[in-house]
Amino acid sequence: MEGGDKNGQEPRGQSQASGTGPPWSQESSPEEGLPTEWSRDWSLTRRVLLAVSLFSLLLGSSVLWVYIFRNCGPRPCETPVCLDLLAQYQASGNTSEAPCTDFFSFACERAKRISNSFQALAKENKKRLKRLLEDPESWHQGSGEEKAFQFYHSCMDTDAIEAAGAGPLTQVIEELGGWHISGNWTSFDFNQTLRLLMSQYGHFPFFKAYLRPHPASPHTPVIQIDQPEFDIPLKQEQEQKIYAQIVREYLTYLNRLGTLLGGDPIKVQQHASLSITITSQLFQFLSPLEQREARDKLFHMVTINQLQEMAPAIDWLSCLQATFTPMSLSPSQPLVVQDLDYLRNMSQLIEEMLLKHRDFLQSHMILGLVGTLSPALDSKFREARRELRQKLRELTERPPLPDHPRWAKCVEEAGTFFEPTLAALFVHEAFGPGIRSAAMELFTEIKDALVTRLRRLPWIREETRKEVQNRVTQLQVTMGAPDWALKRELARQEYSDIQLGPNFLQSVLSCVRSLRARKVWSFLQPLPRHRWLVSPWGVNAYYSIPDHEVVFPAGLLQPPFFHPDYPRAVNFGAAGSIMAHELLHVFYQLLLPGGCPDCDTRALQEALLCLERHYAALPLPSGTSFSGSSTLLENAADVGGLAIAFQAYSKSLLQNRGETKLPNLDLNPHQLFFRSYAQVMCREPSAEHSQDTHSPPSLRVHGPLSNTPDFARHFRCPRGTLMNPSSHCQLW
């Protein structure tokens, strides 16, 4: 019965008057009626038991939470691609370095050498192309693919190339009218020879000429005339001693070429010496870039007829028409010219040489052609050129040439001449729909983070903010490869104008002519498609101003920078930061003086000055230097790219479950993000490119990371260390 015991008796002490409280409030305590001392002992015991129970509950909860954390937190990624990435990170990093004082060495140093992530990836992409070119099942008989494979195998057939010797080159020289060195000089028409060199052999001895989009809107195709590229590393301000040594080495090389071609040693010496004199004089005519910038004369717009009057030694219409067939040129055809003063002086020198030393001028042109064609010749010519380049690098204190196996050179040549074919094969092999979809998803998250960040920039006013957001919305993106590279009918085109044989040199020359014709044809299309500046297997992303398009080739979106099965920290830190960097190129104009009239100029300049001082305070590796002003825009893109990628990654962590990490690396996901960013920048500092707009690699790591408070927080860097300075710059 309710309220009674099992015998139906009334419980002792129950209130008869009240039935409103809960049952337990109406019952007597169990110890009621017992002695008071015993009651106190039992109360104490009960409190102890309660405390023990609570402790056990807390201990059990702690164990449970540890279990949940370990099983619901980031799981180790143990797929083959993750284990390969782990091995690369362990091989390239130096964990004995403290990340808060030298994160570049922590991420990039390898047995006292610096790993080069981009170089390693480019090599891996070439190996993939090699496997495709050596797989008989990769191509179809009777298609254009077959010619690509035949070209590669003829390039690899060094026995046949050695057997041909200098014969193929001698035949080319005879087609050009011979030369005085070998005693077979038959005739010489300067402009006819120049026209043949430019149109049939792809050699430009006195200037460069090529098609490009017009520098101003609407970016229609235009022929541009540039200064020549010299075969020897001369500089405007070079020590006389170094200059003399360079000239001696180059003279030795030219003498060697003339001897290999059967020339009389005395004549070879004379013609080689005068060829160097011509090169030196042409070099003296060059206007340094800084001078042309100061005079606001980077480019000139002239017609062919006007250029003919300024530089009459060249038959401009005839030479350009032959080179850019099937374009139809006229004397009124506009040209873009880089250095008019150079062309005037070059023309005057040629006129003088034609009056006094016609045969020497012919020899100069042919010696230059031999250097251009040497990669397609036998080992004696190739070795002569390699030795020259090696000695010149020593004289200019550059690192020695890396080993370049024959297969790598043949892959490069095949890729240059048969790009549509190899692009389709490479993308099919390395960038399937799943990879492309994952890369596009990553790009969308990066772009969304940029748009969000634009709303918070203090130095952009509302009108400009709307304008730049529209530019981001209108931006085109190409991921992996251009559309034409994915069409099998183009990949298997016949290349009917390419004739392979009877020797490898003739095959190369036929490919050179075909490639030039295809480039001209692409420019003549009524709605020309975007012309990629890199191959689909290349490793460089870029932003095209004329097309307002960012390009991320398939060759870049590969391990160790990107893979759908990687932890998201890796993809956002590596590929994501690259994507964000390229997106920020859209806004370079805003950062230039006067480039953003509607901006808060004072706040913008303060942020830029802060960034310049921030980089200037960072330590440089010995033997390297950089210009804070010339690298400022790229530094800004590095800093902003990292910040945007980290913002996108943080949002991704909130919206998605299942983040993974690399096993046995002792890095949590946020630390792995920053480690992956640094991996992108791993490379040796280069002294070769004095005009490089990027900072040295260590600064590209330390600059952005030390300007990111989240890095210092996740690596627990003490205030005042290199990677956690007392102040940060707020540009983006």
Asked if residue 460 belongs to a domain, the reply is: yes
Q: Which long-range contacts (CB under 8 A, 24 or more apart) does 142-146 make?
A: 143/492, 143/494, 144/418, 144/420, 144/421, 144/491, 144/492, 144/493, 144/494, 144/495, 145/421, 145/425, 145/491, 145/492
Say if residue 5's pLDDT is above 50: no
Catalytic position from the list 231, 582, 634, 659: 582
Query: How confident is the model at residue 229, as a pLDDT?
Result: 87
Query: How confident is the model at residue 44, as a pLDDT?
Result: 58
Report in angstroms the alpha-carbon separations of 541 from 62, 151, 535, 575, 698: 49, 29, 11, 10, 20
Asked if residue 82 belongs to a domain, the reply is: yes
Average pLDDT over residues 248-270: 92
Tokens 């040129």 sit on residue: 329
- 97-101, 115-119, 289-293: least confident range: 289-293
Say if residue 61's pLDDT is above 60: no
Q: How does residue 244 score in pLDDT terms, banded at 50, 70 and 90? A: confident
Q: How does residue 689 score in pLDDT terms, banded at 50, 70 and 90? A: very low
Say if residue 38's pLDDT is above 70: no
Q: Is the pTM of this model over 0.85?
A: no
**662 with 86: CB under 8 angstroms?**
yes
In this structure, what CATH number is given to the domain that contains residue 207? Answer: 1.10.1380.10
Say if residue 9's pLDDT is above 60: no
Q: Taking CA 536 as the corner, what is the angle to CA 530 and CA 541, rounded to the nearest 5 degrees?
A: 75
The answer to whether residues 86 and 235 belong to one domain is no
pLDDT, tens digit, 9 for 90 and up, residues 183-233: 666 667 999 999 999 999 999 999 999 998 776 666 678 999 999 988 887
The answer to whether residues 460 and 364 belong to one domain is no
**What is the pLDDT of the chain when averaged over all its residues?**
85
Query: How confident is the model at residue 693, as a pLDDT?
Result: 84
Q: Which helix (H) or strand (E) holds 212?
A: strand 208-213
Query: How confident is the model at residue 215, as a pLDDT?
Result: 67
Average pLDDT over residues 552-559: 97
Asked if residue 68 belongs to a domain, the reply is: no
The answer to whether residues 303 and 435 belong to one domain is no
- 367-371, 489-493, 512-516: least confident range: 489-493
Those residues with Cβ within 8 angstroms of residue 315's Cβ, 6 or more apart along the chain or in another chain = 191, 194, 195, 308
Q: How does residue 111 score in pLDDT terms, banded at 50, 70 and 90? A: low
Q: What's the rounded Cα separation, in Å, for the pair 729 and 718?
A: 19
Q: How does residue 73 score in pLDDT terms, banded at 50, 70 and 90? A: confident
Asked if residue 618 belongs to a domain, the reply is: yes
pLDDT, tens digit, 9 for 90 and up, residues 469-492: 999 999 999 999 887 767 666 656
Query: How confident is the model at residue 290, as a pLDDT?
Result: 67
Whether 352 is catalytic: no
Q: Domain containing 447: what range? A: 78-95+103-115+431-482+530-715
The answer to whether residues 365 and 445 belong to one domain is no
Catalytic position from the list 109, 339, 413, 638: 638
pLDDT, tens digit, 9 for 90 and up, residues 432-475: 999 999 999 999 999 999 999 998 888 988 888 889 999 999 99
The answer to whether residues 234 and 318 belong to one domain is yes
Strand partners, 210: 224
- 194-198, 530-534, 678-682: least confident range: 530-534
Q: Total domain count for the chain?
A: 2
In this structure, what CATH number is given to the domain that contains residue 109? Answer: 3.40.390.10
Query: Residue 278 is which amino acid?
Result: I
Those residues with Cβ within 8 angstroms of residue 481's Cβ, 6 or more apart along the chain or in another chain = 423, 424, 426, 427, 431, 536, 553, 554
Asked if residue 697 belongs to a domain, the reply is: yes
Query: How confident is the model at residue 714, as a pLDDT?
Result: 97
The answer to whether residues 183 and 319 belong to one domain is yes
Tokens 């195709």 sit on residue: 221
Q: How does residue 56 score in pLDDT terms, banded at 50, 70 and 90? A: low
The answer to whether residues 206 and 294 belong to one domain is yes
Number of C-beta neighbours around residue 240 at 10 A: 7
Query: Residue 593 is which amino acid?
Result: P
Average pLDDT over residues 147-166: 96
Asked if residue 48 belongs to a domain, the reply is: no
The counts of H helices and E strands in the chain are 31, 11
Where among 332, 349, 376 does a domain terminate?
376
Asked if residue 50 belongs to a domain, the reply is: no
Query: How confident is the model at residue 543, as a pLDDT?
Result: 94
Q: pLDDT: is 40 or 560 the higher one?
A: 560
Average pLDDT over residues 125-138: 91
Where among 376, 401, 422 does a domain terminate?
376
Say if residue 41's pLDDT is above 70: no
Range list of H helices, 73-200: 80-92, 103-108, 117-133, 144-156, 158-164, 167-175, 190-200
Radius of gyration, alpha carbons of the chain: 36
Say if residue 700's pLDDT is above 80: yes
pLDDT, tens digit, 9 for 90 and up, residues 270-319: 999 999 999 999 999 988 766 666 555 678 899 999 999 999 999 999 99
Q: How does residue 55 score in pLDDT terms, banded at 50, 70 and 90? A: low
Query: Residue 255 is which amino acid?
Result: N
Query: How confident is the model at residue 491, as a pLDDT?
Result: 58
Query: Residue 585 is which amino acid?
Result: H
Say if residue 129's pLDDT is above 70: yes
Say if residue 39's pLDDT is above 70: no
pLDDT, tens digit, 9 for 90 and up, residues 172-185: 998 888 888 876 66
Query: How confident is the model at residue 523, as a pLDDT?
Result: 84
Whether 582 is catalytic: yes
Query: How confident is the model at residue 143, as a pLDDT?
Result: 72
Query: How confident is the model at residue 137, as a pLDDT?
Result: 80
The answer to whether residues 107 and 176 belong to one domain is no
Say if residue 115's pLDDT is above 50: yes
Say if residue 340's pLDDT is above 80: yes
Q: What's the rounded Cα separation, in Å, for the pair 523 and 706?
A: 45
Query: Residue 323 is which amino acid?
Result: T
The answer to whether residues 468 and 360 belong to one domain is no
Q: pLDDT: is 394 or 139 the higher one?
A: 394
Query: How confident is the model at residue 395, as a pLDDT?
Result: 87
The answer to whether residues 333 and 455 belong to one domain is no
Asked if residue 29 belongs to a domain, the reply is: no
The answer to whether residues 110 and 183 belong to one domain is no
Q: How does residue 597 score in pLDDT terms, banded at 50, 70 and 90? A: confident
The answer to whether residues 618 and 469 belong to one domain is yes
Query: How confident is the model at residue 22, as a pLDDT?
Result: 34
Q: How does residue 659 score in pLDDT terms, banded at 50, 70 and 90? A: very high
Tokens representing residue 349 in the block:
């020198």
Say if residue 667's pLDDT is above 50: yes
pLDDT, tens digit, 9 for 90 and up, residues 414-424: 999 999 889 98
